[in-house]
Amino acid sequence: MNRRAWILGGAAAAAGAAGAGVAWWRMSGSAAADERAAQIWAMQFETVGGGPPLALAALRGKPTLLNFWATWCAPCISELPLIDRFQREHGAAGWQVVGLAVDRAEPVAEFLAKRPVGFAIGLAGLEGVELSERMGNSGGALPFSVVFDRKGKVIQRKLGMIKPEDLQRWLAAAG
């Protein structure tokens, strides 16, 4: 192989590694994203049925799985039973699950009437996309999940459907 091919190959490999590194950095915990994520604890969200607002400050100090979802998102709907089971199995150990619906109140209420879940649901509306982006979801796609440890620090982020092995890894990471 000639020198030019080696140089071009090396440059391509470096560019690929840099791109992968940037993607990992964005999803795994840049300092700016962590700072923005810390602001979540001051937020409140309307709930289905007009009850008292869901105040995330009440959950601080507990490991928390925050899941952005929507009624029109097929992968979101597919993962809800797994997330609901996780809350039932680990709630007694202090784990909290919060679903933030990136949707309007009416479709969420209709959906939950047919398929109730045992964890808190807040109505984030379309602003939920922007909020998820501020928390590290660079593409704004759904589903998107963020895991906080007992100190309220982001320890994991996941774009796409949650799998059982993700939940097991998060349990171990949160201690």
Is 143 part of any domain?
A: yes
Report pLDDT for 37. Answer: 66
Residue with tokens 């700072």: 35
Inform me whether the pLDDT recorded for 4 exceeds 70.
no
Exposed / middle / buried, residue 67 (Cβ in 10 Å: 0-12, 13-18, 19+): buried
pTM: predicted TM-score of the whole model, two decimal places = 0.80
Q: What is the domain extent for residue 170? A: 31-174
Write down the mean pLDDT value for the chain: 85
Domain-located, residue 9: no
118 confidence band (pLDDT: 50, 70, 90): very high
Question: Is 60 exceeded by the pLDDT of residue 24?
Answer: no
How many domains, in total, are found in the chain? 1
Distance between CA atoms of residues 138 and 21, nearest Å = 14
Three-class HEC string of 55-86: EHHHHCCCCEEEEEECCCCHHHHHHHHHHHHH
CATH number of the domain enclosing 118:
3.40.30.10
Residue 11 located in a structural domain: no
Summarised one tens digit per residue, pLDDT across range 47-102 is 998 889 999 999 999 999 999 999 999 999 999 999 999 999 999 999 999 999 99
Q: Which pLDDT score is estimated for 20?
A: 35
pLDDT at 72: 97
Per-residue confidence (pLDDT) for residue 43, from 0 to 100? 95
Does residue 6 lie in a domain region? Answer: no
Instruction: Please tell me the distance from the alpha carbon of residue 56 to that of residue 35, in angstroms, as a whole number.
Output: 16
25 φψ region: left (φ > 0), alpha (ψ -120 to 50), beta (else): alpha
CB burial string 111-136: b at 16+ within 10 A, e below: bbeeeebebbbbbbbeebbebbbebb
H or E segment to which residue 68 belongs: strand 64-69
Q: Does residue 135 lie within any of the structural domains? A: yes
